[in-house]
Structure 1
Amino acid sequence: MGTKYNVLYNGNIALERGKDGVNNEFTENFWQMLPVERMNVSEDIFLPGQTKNADFDRAEEKAIKAIQVHGMNIDGKEKNPQIDEAYLLLGQARYFDQRFVPAMAAFNNILNKYPTSDKINQVKIWREKTNMRLDNNQGAIDKLKRLLREEEIEGQDLADAAAALAQAYINTKSKDSAIAQLAIAAENTTVKREKARYHFIKGQLYNEFGKKDSANIEFDAIIDMHRQIPRSFYINAHIEKSNNFDVLNGDQIEFEEYLTDLEENRENRPFLDKIYYRIAEYHRSNASDSLSEVYYNKSLRKTTSDKYLRSLSYETLGNMYFDRNIYKTAGAYYDSTMTAMVANTKPYRIIKRKRENLDDVIYYEGIAQTNDSILRMVKLPESEQLAIYTKYTDELRIKAIEDQKQQEEALKKQQSQTTPATQSLQNSQGNLKSKLTPPGMSRQIQTGNSANGASSFYFYNATTVAYGKNEFLKLWGDRKLQDNWRHSSQRADIVNTTKDDDLVASLVEDERFNPETYLASLPTNQSEIDSIATERNYAYYQLGIIYKEKFKEFQLSKNRFENLLENDPEDRLILPSKYNLYRIYIELGLNQKAEAMKNAIVLNYPDSRYAEILLNPQSELSKDENSPEAIYTKLYRQFENEAYAAVIAEAEVQIKRLEGDDFVPKFEILKASAKGRLYGFEAYKEGINYIALTYANTEEGKKAQEILKDAIPVLAKKEFVSDDDVDKFNVIFQFENNSGEDIETFITTLNEEVAKIKYFDLTTSKDLYDDNTTFVVVHGLKSIGGAKGFGELLKTGEKDKRGRLLKPKITRPYFAISSPNYAIIQRHKNLNAYLELQ
């Protein structure tokens, strides 16, 4: 009795309290398949003795106390009938505390020691639930099926067993089998919340199978339970049912009334975010974009904790603005989408990549629109230009006047408003104030504090003071501070204008409202106009490429390329634009236009790479020797072999040949690197800067910008470092490239001599310094003295067996240098400066 009504009673209370805590922490995600059991499994790791929940820890302590203190094992038999209950409590506490292996041990202990327990069926169900948590789903299925087949289970136990089996089927992707078990669980459970959950999961499964009518029956079963279940299940059942509405064949008027009833029901206010989103989706499916946008924004204003819903609304709005070519607004919505998503997930990366691509679109669309506007205006006669700007400035002035009026009215309203507390105080002290206030003193003065705690005294408010000064000037003019200032003799300088006249006068001088300001800003020099047109054409080309390659928006890409060709672009843009248009026509099924474009390319550019591709498509597919990829690979091998002059020359040829091609920036990078190796830091910096400016929105251009920001300042340093701070040194032999000397023979001899040195790990290399000079380098020496000593050793030669000094094999002059300083002279080509310091 003490075990049942004291220890286990308190333990079960703690368990229920802990389960309530688990339920409260778990947030239902109706966007995904609901789990059969409401519990969020955490991957946090806890050390022995630690627990996730103090209530489960207390329940476990009570269960252990019951077993250890109240157990009555006599002659191998347990005489206390409550001990099996204690073990069940122990297993459940560990299960909900997510310590599944110890929980399994507790359940197995009951099965082994208490096979006749009245709780044996519950224990078997809990054991298989634990098995599922340990990813042993098939074992759980086999044992639960055997339990249901061999035992007569009914009521809540049957519901629990069927629900557990359904979850195991879902885990093993046997979802059709899960439906039958969920039906049994829903029919037998006595817990309304569980019944709603089982019906909802069945509806989700039917929707996966495309059986919308069956799904709606399940959702209707939830809706019929109304206030007996959590409101979230009721609302989401309505939402899921509405998602199954047949837009083409259904009664749209009735459906709109259905959605309106959901929206207007006061009990549904906490769920208006989802309801508004569903209404927005309905209007969008009916092509009512303006209405759908209103409801998406209403959903966003109501959304609280549902980040996924917020991300859906932001992303949809971004897509809508993107489709309308309003890219800046679309980009802002995509930014907001990412704030509501989990970072580094696949959906997040997709939106991020789309947003980054949109940067280029926003940039080039801005250039195209601005420059188009300027060029259209420049072509008009001056009289039409003046008329357009006059109309624009008049509208601007009227708007400014209206804005200023509204500001003054707002100030006047603010001045006239008094708080209820202040008004009450004024009324109660009215007689006293009328006696104490001297004649002429402003009645604006108020007593006490405003409702927000700030003083309402007139002269403490800078806004009302400024307004008062302005009103005084309009009424009385600029009067001197003197006696009798209100006499008519002092009225000579009164400003006799209306408020509107004053506003107009104050705005006349503003250059914004002068059409001549805009006329003067138009370019008149032909070179400026040509430059604007060139920039606009390049923007059109880039937009065509971006829409085609990154967004697969072939219609938008087609429009940009066609507009470009109509505007007399540079020669370098014509051929690639035509080739891209040919590809787009093929994608859009415009075969006649594609054939005409192909013939134009082949006829007018017969020697071009594009003509070769069109005439022999297999050459492009096989990446033959004339493809950009093959040429670049060959050129890079030459770069690795230090044939820098040849790389620079060939890269320039390919850049001209492939004008407009995506591969051009790669050749530019290779050329800049080769120039840097051959001519030094300044040449490299100049090349990288050119790439960063010319190809700013390509991958290579962005990489060049990073190099300019991070690497160039470091590489720019050319002060030599002290030899005392370095532990790597080289010996350098210098050769003139055109002297006719056999460098390879020298290297062979040097390698033979280096191989004789056993106490250093020495290596040699041949490094190009510039057009005229090549270095043969010995690496691996540890000090400047050791490097110089090694050079002298080579010049001294060896002795024969008799001790006679043999003629040295290497007598060439050398100089020693540390590895960091060698990198500096290679980078900045300042060898002479280094030698002067030695």
Structure 2
Amino acid sequence: MTRFYHSFTTRYNVYFNGIENYKEQLKEMEEGYEDNFTDLLLMHPAQAYANPKDPQPSGSFDRTIEKCQKAIQLHSIKKRPKRNSKKMSDPKYREYMKRDEYNPFIHNAWRLMGKAQYYKGDFLGAAATFLYISRHFTWMPDLVAESRIWQARCYIAMGWLYEAEDILLKINNEKLPESQNNWFATVNADYLVHKGEYEKAIPFLETAIKSASSKQQRIRMTFLLAQLYAATQNPTKAYQTYGKVIGMNPPYRTEFNARIKQTEVYSGKDISKEVKKLTRMASRDRNKEYLDQIYYAIGNLYLSRKDTLKAMENYRLANQKSTRNGIEKAICQITLGNLYFERREYVDAQPCYAEAIPQLKEDYPQYDLLSRRSSVLDELVVYAQNVELQDSLQNLAAMSEDDRNKAIQKIIDNLIKKEKEEAEAQQREEYLAQQQGPQFNNDNSAKQNTTILSGDKSWYFYNKPMVSAGKTEFQRIWGSRKLEDDWRRRNKSGFSMSDFAEQSGNSENEDLADNSLPDEENPDSIQSDAADDPHKPEFYLKQIPMTPEAMETSNEVVAEGLFNMGIILKNKLEDYPAAIANFNLLEERFPENPYRLDVYYNMYLMYMRNGDVVTAGIYRDKIRSVFPESPYAQAMADPHYLDNLRRMSTVQDSIYEATYAAYLENDNRTVHGNTTFMKEKYPLSPLMPKFLFLDALAYIGDKQYDHFKAGLKDLLERYPQADVSPMATTMLKGVAQGRQVAEGSGNMRGMIWKARLTNDTTTLANDTAQATFTQDLNAPHVLLLVYATDSVSSNQLLFDVAKHNFTSFVIKDFDLEIMTFNEISMLVVKGFNNFDELSHYRRVLDNSETFRYPPGVRPVMISEDNFKKLLEGYSFEDYFLFLENNPQPTEPYEKR
């Protein structure tokens, strides 16, 4: 009677309330979730919990879980009934007396709780619940099998595919109960989809669809089945299955995407009917929000028939009609960008990639390739747009004054018209937003929150989609600009040795102009305002090269653009025909351009790569005849030049390591000898700037200071963009200011500590800015293992410290990160809540029997706040001076 009472009360009281809530919330989840049709659909919306970046499903199962827990707590019967000795001879009775539970209905509460935990997204908790069921209800084989399959489903959702496979194989080998065949097919299909074995998953998914828990789930899994057919190159089956989805009377969004997907797998010979069908869809008011997808689908149809021009026309139309930023628009832009890229129309491809990348997740197929391609095109388009702009300006300069003014006025009229259309469109969007409420998804709202689109909430500079979006917005406002100092200026002076001339006198007021009139009374102010207003002709006239000097500057920009476009096309895109075409155009337009030597050499390399030895020989002869004193000509004089070039990559590293070691030992003769050898044997080595830098520093030990300065000047003239050039610049400036040069190999380390940990020249107002460090021993700290770049193997140091941490600290975990700033590199050890924790770690590290600091590594203990100040542009020398005045409790450590 007790067992009957508790069973009855469980079923019709607590459990009833829980199961009703469960059904209600499950229906809301399955019907309310918006699937991502651009990717494989999830077997169930609950799986979206596994990826926080995905839209999260609705439905709260807390009440169900609460009711199940209450049922178990109040009505579970663990106490065995009184033993009947007369029945002990019966094996079934003996098994009955060994049970862990005697409420005949309570297992339903356990099972329901596990399901509710799964649909809530608590996959680990659900797995634990189903594991409990499989171990404590062994007398119910169907329940045990069902629970183990559910356990496998939880593992799949967490990505534990090996554990899920182990369970599914064992269940299948142990003769699966017939009642669980359909449920096994559902979970096994899910497992095979996650594993990428789509062809094997199809028959199981077909079985699972028949026993789907609801109509919405049956529609969802049928759509997924069609996607699997498409992924396994079975377009006919995929087309038919998408048709089944349409015939199941699904929600309109699902029906619409099924029709769009049909165009991607259409295998008929005549696409005109499909195009007409989609065109009719485009004319309906209910599809205005989906016009981009419709035209994208039409483009797919034309692309399937190799009609690239028609396809691109519709892809462009899809981008124009798009009212939303999102994955659908991004996919269209990527498709269009790929077509432009394959046609070598790189300038047109660049904005497609630049706008699409922020909308994509990092797990999107070929994301890394697309991101790299976008970065290269961003660099290429800077020069391409510069060339196009200067050619347009030169064409305006060649016009008569009347024609020029008409052309400028046409530009102004088009600008005013465009601004008016944008303002009207903005007003319409605002009106529609007010009418339709906050759910209206327009382009502005998407632009305002790229984080929502990508789902990534990390810090801006670690958030690739947000960085890409920022880059696109920057280009929209400023245009494409090269990453360099004074980027806002169109014309910038180049590198000048006068920057390092010894200072004499005071020229502080030399550049001051006499302009004492207030702005409102200054006639130049009115003209300046007009020149900054794109609605006034003066804005355009000031950019036109009307003087010989301005035309010369414009030609310099064009020549620089053509040369750099050729270099990027050759080195980063490996498009040799396009690179050769740019170099030939540069030679044709500017026969005396300053890039001829590099152009000849790159042409030589490309023709050798293409096997055209005769043409390559022509450019080799040009180098040796026109530039006989150049490093290229000297290197090519060796008949074994190409063999030397191939060996260079393997030889140069070992020579540099020996040269650096010799410098540290003050063996200056070896440093000079190795540098001379590299100049003669491998003058084109990428490490040549480093050799020249060490060679110049070695002259300090020889007390030949003129050779030291001459060596640094030669380095800066030949390699102004090298990684050692900022340090060389700092040294020359110091000499120009009258500072004495320290002798010995330690001077290099001294200069390292004085270097700024930034490439941003605007970070600090001047070199003498006082650092505002603070000392807070209770603040979080980090340990910096600092060394000169290239003097220590970063990977080996990282491995040694990680090994030490693993063996010395069982519970505590530390984050390790390598950071490089030109000449300075460091291994950052994080995870210390205060200075005392860091001091303990430091003592353990210093006293370790297995870890030793490599030569040249200096440990620095610093708070996170002070470390941020270093990253803002201060030097280690600034921090060391602060420590001298504010010593830390473990001062001896800092003096190592």
The two structures have a TM-score, normalised by structure 1, of 0.58
Q: Deviation digits for residues 207-238 of structure 1, max 9, x if unmatched?
A: 33333334334334334x331x3444433333
Determine which of 64, 81, 95 is the counterpart of 1:59: 64
SS of alignment partner, residue 686 of structure 2: helix
Preserved contact between residue 314 and residue 334 of structure 1 (Cα < 8 Å): yes
What is aligned with 1:275? 294
| 1:622 partnered with 2:643 | no
Greater RCO (Cα-Cα under 8 Å, separation 6 or more):
2
1:125 has 2:149 as partner: yes
The code of the aligned residue for 1:235 comes to: F
CA 1:600/1:271 → structure 2, altered by over 3 Å: closer, same or farther?
same
Counterpart residue number, 2:402: 390
How far did 1:576 drift? 0.8
Distance 2:216 2:403 in 1: 67
1:632 equivalent in alignment to 2:699: no
Q: 2:586 aligns with which of 549, 564, 571?
A: 564
User: 1:715: how far off?
Assistant: 0.5
- Deviations along 1:388-417, one digit per CA (max 9) or x if unpaired, are x42444566699899999999xxxxxxxxx
CA displacement at 1:87 relative to structure 2? 1.8
- Distance, in Å, in 1 between the alignment partners of 2:150 and 2:559 is 71
Task: Return 5+ residue gaps in structure 1 as ranges.
Answer: 46-51, 409-509, 685-702, 722-818, 825-838
Mapped contact 1:675–1:683 kept (Cα < 8 A): no
- 8 A Cα contact 2:26 2:59, kept in partner: no
1:230-266 CA distances to partner (integer Å, 9 max, x unpaired)?
A: 44443333333321235xx832323423433554567
Cα distance, 1:620 vs structure 2: 2.0
After TM superposition, the structure 1 = structure 2 runs for residues 420-459 of structure 1, keeping only pairs within 5 Å, are none
Pairwise CA RMSD: 4.9
Aligned length: 578
Aligned mate of 1:145, from 169, 172, 178:
172
Residue 42 of structure 1 aligns to a residue in which SS? helix
Answer whether contact 2:412 2:536 (CA < 8 A) is retained: no
Change in 2 beyond 3 A, CA 1:217/1:342? closer
Using the TM superposition, give the Cα deviation of residue 164 of structure 1 relative to its aligned residue in structure 2, in angstroms. Answer: 0.5
Per-residue CA distance 1:678-721 (angstroms, 9 max, x = gap): 3339999xxxxxxxxxxxxxxxxxx999442124x2304599x9
Q: 1:15 aligns with which of 22, 32, 39?
A: 22
Distance in 2 (CA, whole Å) between partners of 1:81 and 1:21 is 31
1:445-524 correspondence runs (5 A): 523-524=546-547
- Superposed, which structure 2 residues align to 1:5-404 within 5 Å? 5-23=12-30, 26-42=33-49, 55-71=60-76, 75=81, 80-111=103-134, 112-113=136-137, 115-116=139-140, 119=143, 122-133=146-157, 135=160, 136-146=163-173, 149-153=175-179, 157-189=180-212, 191-223=214-246, 225-227=247-249, 229-246=250-267, 250-263=269-282, 271-283=290-302, 286-287=306-307, 289=309, 292-293=312-313, 295-298=315-318, 301-302=321-322, 304=324, 307-316=326-335, 333-342=352-361, 357-358=376-377, 360-373=379-392, 385-386=399-400, 389-394=401-406
Which structure: larger Rg? 1
Do the aligned partners of 1:26 and 1:39 also contact (CA within 8 Å) in 2?
no
Distance 1:282 1:206, change over 3 A: closer
Q: What's the offset of the Cα at 1:535?
A: 3.8
Distance change >3 Å, CA 606–CA 299, structure 1 → 2: closer
Q: Is the Cα–Cα contact under 8 Å of residues 409 and 537 in structure 2 kept in the other structure?
A: no
Change (3 A) 1:326 1:645: farther
Q: Give me the whole-angstrom Cα distance separating, in 2, the residues matched to 1:252 and 1:44.
A: 38
**What amino acid maps onto 1:16 in structure 2?**
K
CA-to-aligned-CA distance 1:755-779 (integer Å, 9 cap, x gap): xxxxxxxxxxxxxxxxxxxxxxxxx
In the aligned structure 1, how far is the partner of 2:542 from the partner of 2:209? 77
Query: Could you say if the C-alpha distance between residues 547 and 716 of structure 1 is closer, same or farther in structure 2, counting changes exceeding 3 Å?
Result: farther
Q: For residues 552 and 31 of structure 1, what CA distance do their matches in structure 2 show? A: 31
Q: Which residue of 2 aligns with 1:724?
A: none
Structure 1 residues 205 and 349: CA distance shift in structure 2, 3 A: closer
Contact 1:273–1:302 under 8 Å retained in 2: yes
Q: Per-residue deviation at 1:113?
A: 3.2
Contact 1:36–1:167 (Cα < 8 Å) also in 2: yes
Q: Which residue of 2 aligns with 1:650?
A: 711
Please list every run of 5 or more consecutive structure 2 residues that lacks an aligned counterpart in the other structure.
1-7, 82-96, 421-532, 653-677, 742-755, 774-876, 883-896
The equivalent residue for 2:894 is: none
Q: Distance in 1 between matches of 2:879 and 2:106?
A: 82
The aligned counterpart of 2:511 is: none
Shift of residue 162, structure 1, vs aligned partner: 0.5
Contact 2:123/2:157, CA 8 A, preserved across alignment: yes
Flag the 1:596–1:269 CA change in 2: closer, same or farther, 3 A.
same
Q: How does 1:653-668 map to 2 (within 5 A)?
A: 653=714, 665=722
Deviation at 1:314?
3.9
CA distance in 2, matches of 1:821, 1:284: 62
CA distances 1:60-103 after superposition (whole Å, capped 9, x unpaired): 22223323334456506766432222221122222223334443
Deviation of the 1:542 alpha carbon: 2.2
Q: CA deviation at 1:565?
A: 1.1
CA distance in 2, matches of 1:345, 1:198: 22
Report the counterpart of residue 708 of structure 1 in structure 2: 761
- CA distance in 1: counterparts of 2:262 and 2:343, whole angstroms: 31
Aligned partners of 1:187 and 1:13: how far apart in 2?
A: 24
Aligned to 1:582: 604
- How far off its partner does 1:293 sit? 4.5
Alpha carbons of structure 1 residues 241 and 599: separation in structure 2 relative to 1, 3 Å: farther
1:317–1:330: 8 Å Cα contact kept in structure 2?
A: yes
Retained in 1: the 8 A contact 2:222–2:245? yes
Deviation at 1:328, TM superposition (A): 7.9
Query: Matched residues in 1 for 2:206 and 2:365: separation?
Result: 35
1:542 aligns with 2:526: no
Deviation at 1:57, TM superposition (A): 2.1
Q: Distance in 2 between matches of 1:822 and 1:81?
A: 75
Displacement of 1:561 in angstroms is: 1.4
Q: Is the 8 A contact 1:274 1:299 kept in 2?
A: no
Please give the alpha-carbon distance, in whole angstroms, between the structure 1 residues aligned to 2:881 and 2:591. Answer: 45
